[in-house]
Amino acid sequence: MDARPPSRVEGAVAHIRDRIATRTLAHGARLPSVRELAEKLGVSKSTVVEAYERLAAEGAVVARRGSGFFVAGPARPLAPAPADPPPEPAIDPSWINQHAMMGLPDFLCPGAGWLPDSWVLDLGVQRALRLAARDGAHRRRQYDEPMGFAPLRRLFSVRLAERDVLVDPDQVIVTDSCSQALDLVCRFLLRPGDTVVVDDPCYFNFLSLLKANRANVVAAPLAPDGPDVEALERLIIEHRPRLYLTNAGLQNPTGATLSPAKAHRVLRLAEDYDLLILEDDTFGDFEPEPAIRLAGLDGLRRVVQVGSATKAVGAATRCGYIAAAADWIGPLVDLKLATSMGNSVTGAAMIHRVLTESNYRRHLDALRGKAADAMGHALRKLRAHGLEPWIEPRAGIFLWARLPDGIAAADVARYSLTKKVLLAPGPAFSASDLGRGCLRFNVARCVEPRIFEVLDDAIAAAPRGGS
Amino acid sequence: MDARPPSRVEGAVAHIRDRIATRTLAHGARLPSVRELAEKLGVSKSTVVEAYERLAAEGAVVARRGSGFFVAGPARPLAPAPADPPPEPAIDPSWINQHAMMGLPDFLCPGAGWLPDSWVLDLGVQRALRLAARDGAHRRRQYDEPMGFAPLRRLFSVRLAERDVLVDPDQVIVTDSCSQALDLVCRFLLRPGDTVVVDDPCYFNFLSLLKANRANVVAAPLAPDGPDVEALERLIIEHRPRLYLTNAGLQNPTGATLSPAKAHRVLRLAEDYDLLILEDDTFGDFEPEPAIRLAGLDGLRRVVQVGSATKAVGAATRCGYIAAAADWIGPLVDLKLATSMGNSVTGAAMIHRVLTESNYRRHLDALRGKAADAMGHALRKLRAHGLEPWIEPRAGIFLWARLPDGIAAADVARYSLTKKVLLAPGPAFSASDLGRGCLRFNVARCVEPRIFEVLDDAIAAAPRGGS
């Protein structure tokens, strides 16, 4: 007798599949009970259970709580998911996100895009919650005003002015996150099939967001002082994009900074070719001195700026903003209400409190100092382990580094995951060759020596000229 | 000499307009200083200021903080706003929303869709904030898990089971609001140009939401026990819709309840014509006994259910959920991350605490009692003032009532607004003749006698056969 359990399971699977195919078991019919089929086929009950579970996993049957297994209904056409299943799980943006956000126990996450908990815990969210309970913004109103909490809009307007983006509070909309702000602006400005230019490399969630908005994406190579303007112009002429989506201040994933001369040339291109610009200022709080903003240079005529209030606060309560031309505000607010009915006023009031606490600026100063130290450390360590930083960013938490020649970032990331180290492989940020051999490091999360040990092993294990 | 100041202002406006038109003042050029133009035209400085402000209001010039007025840039083509400007401001959904959400001082708002503050203030959001500060969910993680706070997903699964919707916690996604849940499902299931059936009348924000999703909308007449199934089938055959978007439990705006027989026939239609169903269970907490749910009847195969956790809690912190087929969860989570990077964990943890407090069920019982009393009161008052309720809803807070023949709800709403009473006119809920003469009342907000005095006056003032 054949003792291999898999073949018994496979036999039971084949038996049921056959009965479904011949309609002996019709759609919706209950499968034989586990005991019944085990007796009939002369196998153990656990073999039948495994067979049924395998059929359930492939969707041929469905389990119903307390009542057994049933033949699945006729396959109905599923919607084309805006986010299709990734062809290569290990390099998909949502893969990084979802793993990082799961807070996997014992994992080290130099690939995660946010600060370690220990960097933000002293920030007084706890105090803000306690004070919020006392001051009771939740008592004064339920739904927030359509544009968002007015004191926070005024505060954003002041913070923007510090970066030479002069904007009236009535041109500022509060959102529940910077991601929501980005999405609202894309939904407002783009029609399905419109083309959008991004930087190569760019923040990986830009690509998911644009896919969800059914936009075509083209990528312009990034130089350390901003986009390659000649390449950008060629792309514009060829593809006639409607929008250029880029970062302000500190670019994600490279930490690059737009120079004033590049900013002027980019804005001239936008004016000449009637291109709109969406500028994401998520990491502005990490700059020692603000770099030039396209939104400021343009006076918010064809540039929209979005940003986050909480990158330096911690993401447990999230908050973002949109700053745009006055005549775009009405339709953007309509869209915000249609798709969310407005932001959470409790959260907005809490964030306002945190940002106006007397120790907030000291906190930012301390963060910048810690990030600068961590950047120096990461630069040294990465070079010592054979990786070459693309640039030495002037500030921020991101470092974009190239692996030794012929090593694929996807291979390194896959290997590291088995060793409980979550990396951010380049193909998530760049569809071009550039991304293939690069990784993004969050320098605030590169302290543990084990990261570099795993990196060594991953590089040693990776095939040369690998996937 | 002509002493009318307006003509001096108009003269100054015309002078500048002329100089812009002839390009004496080019796009982007600085306007003469106020003093300069006042001297040149021999008018007062305040006349020039008023002229400049009028030009700014119409967009011909822009004010820049501290540096004066400048000629506005060339008009650039604005994006076609997903929410176009309403042709009739007084009956546009966003008009109701935005007015109601502004919390206008001294206004009575029987048209607002949520409970009065005094009905939810005793609910312990304050206590939840204080306890959240102590327990520190914000300390344990920053970004929430991609699917949302696990204890809350388990709680939703239990609450759904009480309504005979049997769903595993792994089929539940937490969202920042029910509106976001609706939007995510629409983005997942619909392509631009797809047709969606709604009830006639339906919740007004469904129409804004579907517009934002670029869907075509057809409406099936609603009967007190659910949709008119014959009419629904005719619409399905004619328009081949992809989705039927409806309410579970208590319909908005009518308070109608789907009967089991109707539920079965609707689901049969959906199966026969491969129609998907999105069921919005926002007002389930207000039912004394749960009515049948399409999601439960169908076992979440072609029905997706979304709902709100906070209709009975107050909307200062918002929270919603999606319950869907297991194989839809992955792409829905991807879409949630792409467009928001996840919900706020502080908010989700707070809501979980509120919903599991020992007094929460007592609060719901008390709310239902208050709503029932308010319903009786509103029915009597509306009839006494010449309005005819469409049905007497078994529960909930909404009453859909018809004005005397020939009176248009839009006229009544416009008049009432001038008397600081915000109504919800029928055309926001129904594009058909039905909506023209109806209003939706929130019975929890129909206590003040002044509402009915204003209603009397508005009806008396309205033209017969009006707009």
Say whether domain B5-71 belongs to CATH 1.10.10.10.
yes
ipTM: 0.79
Instruction: From chain B, pick out residues whose CB is under 8 angstroms from the CB of A212.
Output: 187, 335, 338-339
Contact A301 B342 (CB under 8 A): no
CA distance A278 to A289: 22
Q: Exposed, middle or buried: residue A299 (CB in 10 Å: 0-12, 13-18, 19+)? A: middle
- The DSSP bridge partners found for residue A62 are A70
CATH number of B125-356: 3.40.640.10
pLDDT at B176 over 70: yes
Taking CA–CA distances from B180, the nearest residue in chain A reads A340
Q: Do A337 and B205 touch (CB under 8 A)?
A: yes
Chain A residues in contact with B179 (beta carbon < 8 A): 338-341
Q: Which of residues 389-408 of A touch B (CB under 8 A)?
A: none
Angle between helices A34-41 and A45-57 in degrees, nearest 10: 110
Share above pLDDT 70 across residues of chain B, in percent, rounded to a whole number: 87
Q: Residue A132: which of B98, B129, B209 has the nearest Cβ?
A: B129
| B186 pLDDT above the threshold of 60 | yes
User: What dihedral angle (degrees, nearest 10) is formed by the CA atoms of A250, A255, A259, A264?
Assistant: -60
Confirm or reject contact between B317 and chain A (CB < 8 A).
Answer: yes
At residue A260, the 3 state secondary structure works out as helix
Separation of first and last alpha carbons in chain B? 45
Whether pLDDT at A235 is above 90: yes
- In the structure encoding, which two tokens stand for residue A166, read together? 């002069």
Is A339–B189 a contact, with Cβ atoms under 8 angstroms apart?
A: no
Average pLDDT over all residues of chain A: 87
The arithmetic mean of pLDDT across residues B51-58, rounded, is 74
Higher pLDDT, A47 or A129: A47
Of A114, A176, A183, the CB nearest to B143: A114
Interchain CB distance below 8 Å, A101 and B209: no
Residue partners of B145: CB distance under 8 A and separation at least 6 = A101, A102, A103, B342
In order of A204, A373, A378, the CA distances from A254 in angstroms are 12, 17, 14
Residue that is written with structure tokens 């030009």 in the block: B55
Q: How far is the C-alpha of B258 from the C-alpha of B266, rounded, in Å? A: 10
B138 with A314: Cβ contact below 8 A: yes
**Closest-CA residue of chain B to A183:** B339
CA distances from B64 to A153, A174, B12 (A): 19, 23, 20
Q: Residue B183 — pLDDT band, cuts 50, 70, 90?
A: very high
Where in the sequence of chain B do the CATH 3.90.1150.10 domains occur? 89-119+361-461
Interface membership of B240 toward A (CB under 8 Å): no
> In chain A, pLDDT over 70 holds for what percent of residues?
88
Q: Which residues of A touch B422 (CB under 8 A)?
A: none
pLDDT at B334 over 70: yes
- Least CA distance to B313: which residue of chain A? A142
Give CA angle at A89 (A86, A93), nearest 5°.
75
Query: pLDDT band at A413, cuts 50/70/90?
Result: very high
Rounded Cα–Cα distance for residues A424 and A400 (Å):
10
CATH 3.40.640.10 region(s) of chain A? 125-356
* Contact between B314 and A125 using a beta-carbon 8 Å cutoff: no
Looking at the complex, does the CB of residue B192 fall below 8 Å from at least one CB of chain A? yes
Q: Could A177 and B340 be called an inter-chain contact, meaning their C-beta atoms sit closer than 8 Å? A: yes
Within chain A, all domains assigned CATH 1.10.10.10 are found at 5-71
Nearest to A130 among B121, B130, B146 (CB): B130
pLDDT for res A321 = 98
Torsion of CA A390, A395, A396, A399, to 10 degrees: 20
Which tops the pLDDT comparison, B419 or B122?
Answer: B419
- Asked if A317 and B189 come within 8 Å (Cβ–Cβ), the reply is no
Q: Please check the confidence at residue A85 and state whether its pLDDT lies above 50.
A: no
Tell me which chain A residues have a C-beta less than 8 angstroms from the C-beta of B300: none
Reply yes or no on whether the pLDDT at B80 is more than 50. no
Partner residue opposite B334 with nearest CB, options A83, A133, A136: A83
Higher-pLDDT residue of B35 and A100 is B35
Helix (H) or strand (E) holding A159: helix A150-162
Candidates A174, A337, A353, A354: best to mutate against B (most CBs of B within 10 A) is A337
- Average pLDDT of the segment spanning A209-232: 97
- Which of 195-214 (B) contact A at CB < 8 A? 205, 208-209, 211-212, 214
State yes or no: pLDDT of B86 exceeds 60. no
Instruction: Tell me how many residue pairs between chain A and chain B have CB atoms under 8 A apart.
Output: 253
Choosing among 3.40.1190.20, 3.30.720.110, 3.90.1150.10, 3.40.50.150, the CATH entry for A89-119+361-461 is 3.90.1150.10
Q: Region B169-192: what's the mean pLDDT?
A: 96
Query: CA-to-CA distance for A412 and A463, rounded, in angstroms?
Result: 10
A286 pLDDT exceeds 80? yes
Q: What is the mean pLDDT of chain B?
A: 87
Inter-chain CB proximity A179 and B341 less than 8 Å: yes
- Residue A56 near chain B (CB below 8 Å): no
Q: Note whether B82 contacts A335, CB cutoff 8 Å.
A: yes
> Within an 8 Å CB–CB cutoff, is residue A79 touching chain B?
yes
